[in-house]
Structure 1
Amino acid sequence: MKPSPADPEAWNAYLAEGNATQARKRVSADVLLRDEEGRVLLVKPTYKPGWDLPGGMAEANEAPDDAARRELREELGLDVTLHGLLVVDWVPPHGPWDDHLAFIFDGGTLGREEAAFLRPHDDELAEARLVAPDQAAGMLRRRLRKRFLAALAPRADSASCFLRGDAAAGEEDE
């Protein structure tokens, strides 16, 4: 017989057992930041090849928007206000990685002074650079490029975009 909420201790133990057996998803949270000239901020991580949007992986039980803000503070010394969700992308399993959910948030526009003093604040980043959106698209890996272009696309209803990766395409994105 299943426990009921009438017995809170047994009910919580029952729920905890179910929680322990459910799937866990990794979560990445990136931020689209622009300067007053419309250029976008890219970062070059030291732990993987290529360029990326600023952000990173959420920690256990951390909300995606909190993860994005934390990563920007740690890696770039930026304290940003997020202006909404632009993209959610389900990334299928690939290589050694399980699937994950990738978020891109709108970080708004950096002021002239903030943009002038952008630099990495920890050893996870080798470089931070503001580039034109079309140049940025060419610098990003294929899967992230798709997400980036979706984040840039204007939507009349201001709705977020949901993408669903193609496992058969063998798309890399770690």
Structure 2
Amino acid sequence: MNSDAPLYERDPEAWQAHLAEGNAKQPRKRVSADVLVRDRAGRILLVDPQYKPDWDMPGGMAEANEPPQDAVRRELREELGLDVHVAGLLVVDWVSPHGPWDDPLSFIFDGGELTDEQIAGLKISDTELSEFEFCTAEKAQQRLRPYVWRRVAVALDVLKTGNVRYLHDGHMR
């Protein structure tokens, strides 16, 4: 083989080892995935986690190598016994490092409108949550942390416009 050939051609195993070494040194990102679920009246499903002071969107943190869309479906099943088709992406928000946390990427997906039967079947099936409630946008704004509300408000707008948004700390850039 030509010694001037690139490493990936000369020694594929050495090339893979080189890539693995680089991968191990690169920073990791935390990923959260939430879902915007509504009832027939257009109210937003919120959950009250026991481990933090404010209400939140249904969803949670993705596990290692888990796609965000799969993470939100898993979280819905684990926490509320809900299995829904998670439709398109609405928002991606890069959140600056804060407190003890590094910077995460936060996704919001469209969970659609639940039927009356699906709503009747909702049940807290995880000790992380104390309750859930469908809220108007005004009530959601009161219950959610300001940066989470900004993200949700943009997601609600995306439902109308169809234009997926990228945010930086909940703001358009």
- Percent identity between the two aligned chains: 58
**Whole-Å separation in 2 of the counterparts to 1:161 and 1:93:** 20
**Unpaired stretches in structure 1, ≥5 consecutive residues:** 167-174
Between structures 1 and 2, the one with greater helix share: 2
Scaled by the length of structure 2, the TM-score of the pair is 0.90
Alignment match, 1:72:
76
Whether 1:147 aligns to 2:151 is yes
Task: Call closer, same or farther: CA 1:46–1:85 in 2, change over 3 Å.
Answer: same
Q: After TM superposition, which residue ranges in structure 1, 4 or more long, deviate above 4 angstroms?
A: 154-157
**Whole-Å separation in 1 of the counterparts to 2:133 and 2:108:** 18
Alignment match, 1:130:
134
Q: Larger C-alpha radius of gyration, 1 or 2?
A: 2
Say how many residue pairs are matched: 166
**Whole-Å separation in 2 of the counterparts to 1:155 and 1:76:** 23
Shift of 1:138: 1.4
Alignment match, 1:90:
94
Alignment match, 1:53:
57
The answer on whether the counterparts of 2:158 and 2:164 sit within 8 Å (CA) in structure 1 is no
Over aligned residue pairs, what C-alpha RMSD do you find?
1.7
Within 5 Å, which residues of 2 pair with 1:152-171? 152-154=156-158, 158-165=162-169
**Whole-Å separation in 1 of the counterparts to 2:95 and 2:50:** 22
Shift of 1:140: 0.3
Within 5 Å, which residues of 2 pair with 1:91-130? 91-130=95-134
Q: Deviations over 1:113-143 (max 9, x none)?
A: 2113322111011101111122111110011
**Unpaired stretches in structure 2, ≥5 consecutive residues:** none
**Whole-Å separation in 2 of the counterparts to 1:45 and 1:25:** 23
